[in-house]
Each structure stands twice: as C-alpha cells, then as structure tokens.
Amino acid sequence: MMGRFVLRRFGLALITLALLSVLVFIGTQLLPGDVGRRVLGPFATQESVDALNARLGTDRPPLVQYTDWIGGAVTGDLGDSITFARPVTELVGRALINSAKLAALAFVIVVPLSIWGGILAALRRGRLIDRLITVGGLSATVIPEFVSGIVLILIFAVTLGWLPGTASAPRGSGFFTQMRHLLLPAICLTLVLFGYIARITRAGVIEAMEADYTRTAILKGLPRRVVIRREVLRNALLPTIAVVASQMGYLIGGLVVVEVLFSYQGIGQLLYSAAQNADFPLLAGGVLVVGAMFQGSMLLADLAYSWLNPRIRLAGSG
C-alpha cells in the first residue's frame, strides 16, 4: 500500500514538474518574442540580434527549442547565462548552496522554536504565555520582511553593532563567521514563519489533549509526561509537518526579498537579477530548479506525514 502511495505521489510530482517546465518555457522563451532583441535592446543592429538568436538557438521552432532545453535539463545542462556567460547549472548550483545555508539556518531556528512555543501555548492555554505566543506570533507574521529586515539591521547592525548587516561573509570565512552573517536574515524569515507553525502546533496539541484517546491514556494511569509525549505530540505534530512543508513555498518567495535586502548571493538574488537583466536562460533554468526543489520537499513532507499516520500508510489493507 505504502509502495503504491509513494509511486503515485512521485508520479504526481513528475507531472507537476513537466507542466511547470512548459509554463517556464513559454514564459521565458516564447512570450518575450524576439529574445535576441530583448536582450540587446532597440539600438543593436539586426545582424547582432540574429547572431545572438542563432547562438541561443531561439531562431528555431518552439517545439525543437523546448525538447532541446528539457533534454538538456534532464542531463544537467541548462545552457549558458547571457549576462555571466557561464553555464546556468553552475550559477544556480552555487546560489542554491548559499540559499540552502540561509534556509537551513532559518529552519533550524524556527522549527524547534515554534513547535516548542506552540506546545507551551497549548499546555498553558489561556494564560499570559499563551497569549504572548499566539498574539505575538501572529503580529510578527503580518509584518513584511523588508520592514522587519530594516528594523533588525537598524537595531542589531547599525545601532548596537552586534551583528553584520550584510549576509555575505568575506571569502574563505569559517563556518561560524558565515552563520553570524546569516543570523539577521534568518531571524527575519523566522519572524514570519514562527506564528504560523506555532499556531498550528498549538491547535493540534489542544485537539489531541481533548481527544478521547488522551482521556483513555490518562485514566489508564499513564504519567502526564508520557501522555504528552506519546499520545498527544505524535498525533498533534502531524498537521504541523504539513504546515512546515507548505511553508517551503513561502520560504522561496521570502528568500528573494531577504536576500536582496541583505545583499546575499542566493538563488533569490540570482533570479531577481536574471529577471532584471532579461537573462532568459538563467531565469528559466533557475525557476525550473527551484520548482524541482519545491516539489521534492513537498514530496518528502507528504511521505513523512503518511508514514507517521497509519490511516494513510495502511489505507486499503484494513
């Protein structure tokens, strides 16, 4: 059953990705019309435009272009960036590693913190700490990143001088220096995510605490500690996992803003500059890779969710 579920879910991800590639292709290589003209501008000679189109292959029929592009993508070749004159895979790969560092730090901070906050709020329902976490988390969620980012920079970098205001560490810095640089942007992302995750966790815990099976466990004589860990958390964290995964989508959007704000060489920044410079191959390749990452993480989240939930895992074998 689980095997079939995995297969089906995997197939679904592939189909979504294929659709995405078509959309990306249409958006970046068909819609702009004459790609060479868009890149070189209105004052370039027709010959140089034609030459660029020939070099990029954008003078060929769309179907050929697409199969060529997607064929390359599968084998790891996404063409060359126009502005950087380097392979797209290389640029995207380097930017991804940077972004992954930032995202990982943000997740390492936000996931335990918000889950813990959510549990605490649930166990102290109606008390001050609960209100602080829920109301505070919610308020932080609605502040846009560029506002909270600037405030953070003003306080911690400019006024107090505790943390660097840019995210990029000097070349060859060690792990801790890099992390120190990433701390402010990561906090900026944390502020947005904390409220969501904490709220879902809180709701899940409260629901599980009030569930009949929790009553059974308590009246069986299980210690409160065990009840909370085994009965409550196991069931309560299921929806949390789904939320954490769905926040991947936000994270990628949020990364663009935060990376630009903290001038960090991540994927967000890269896509942003590619769009600004009409660097279509880079834009197309970058979006495709990000889409694949997004699908992949959703897939993992679904698998984790269903593995933890026997009702899904064993569906059909009842």
Partner 1 sequence: MTAQTAITHPALEVRDLALEYRIGPDWKSALRDINFTVERGESFGLVGESGCGKSTVAMAIMHYLPRNGRVTQGSIRLAGRDVTDLSPRELRDLRVNKISMVYQNPGTALNPSIRIGRQVEDVFELMGVPAREREGRVRQVLDKVQIADPIRVMRRYPHQLSGGMLQRVVIAMAIASRPALLILDEPTTGLDATVEAEVLDLVRDLRDEIGTSVLFISHSLAVIRKMCDRVAVLYAGRLMAVGPTEETFNNPSHPYTVGLLRCLPSPETGRRDETTLDTIPGFLPPLGAEITGCIYAERCGNVQDICREVEPELIPVPGDSVSRCHFWDRAQELPRTVPEAAPRRERSEETLLAITNASKTFVQDGAPVYALHDIDLEIRVGETVALVGESGSGKSTLAKVLLGIHAPDDGTVIALSGKGLSAKVAQRTQGEIGAIQMVFQNPDSALNRRHSVRRIIGRAVRLLRREGRKETDDRTKNLMREVRMGSQHLLAKPRQLSGGLKQRVAIARAFAGTPALVICDEPTSALDVSVQAAIINLLAELQAEENVSYLFISHDLNVVRYIADRVAVMYLGRLMEVGSSPRVFAGPHHPYTEALLSASPDLEEDTRIRLEGEIPAASNPPSGCVFQTRCPRKIGVICETVEPPLEEAEPGWFKRCHIPIEELRLLQGQPPAEVTADPATT
> Among residue numbers 231 through 290, which ones bind partner 1 (CB under 8 A)?
231, 234-235
Q: To 5 degrees, how large is the angle CA 19–CA 23–CA 26?
A: 140
- Distance CA(1)–CA(4), nearest Å, equals 5
Choose between 214 and 240: whose C-beta lies nearer to partner 1.
Answer: 214
Q: Is 6 exposed, middle or buried (0-12, 13-18, 19+ CB in 10 A)?
A: middle
7 touches partner 1 by CB under 8 A = no
Please identify which residue in 42, 161, 174, 316 interacts with partner 1, judged by CB under 8 A. Answer: 316
296 touches partner 1 by CB under 8 A = no
The CB-of-113 to partner 1 minimum distance in angstroms stands at 25
230 touches partner 1 by CB under 8 A = yes
Choose between 211 and 243: whose C-beta lies nearer to partner 1.
Answer: 211
Please identify which residue in 30, 213, 263, 300 interacts with partner 1, judged by CB under 8 A. Answer: 213
- Helix locations, 211-279, DSSP H: 212-220, 224-226, 234-261, 267-276
Strand partners, 87: 80
The CB-of-180 to partner 1 minimum distance in angstroms stands at 41
Q: Residue 225 CB: number of other CB atoms within 10 A?
A: 8
The CB-of-235 to partner 1 minimum distance in angstroms stands at 6
302 touches partner 1 by CB under 8 A = no
144 touches partner 1 by CB under 8 A = no
217 touches partner 1 by CB under 8 A = yes
> Three-state SS for 261?
helix
Q: Is 201 exposed, middle or buried (0-12, 13-18, 19+ CB in 10 A)?
A: buried
Residues that bind partner 1 (CB under 8 A): 211-224, 230-231, 234-235, 308-311, 314, 316-318
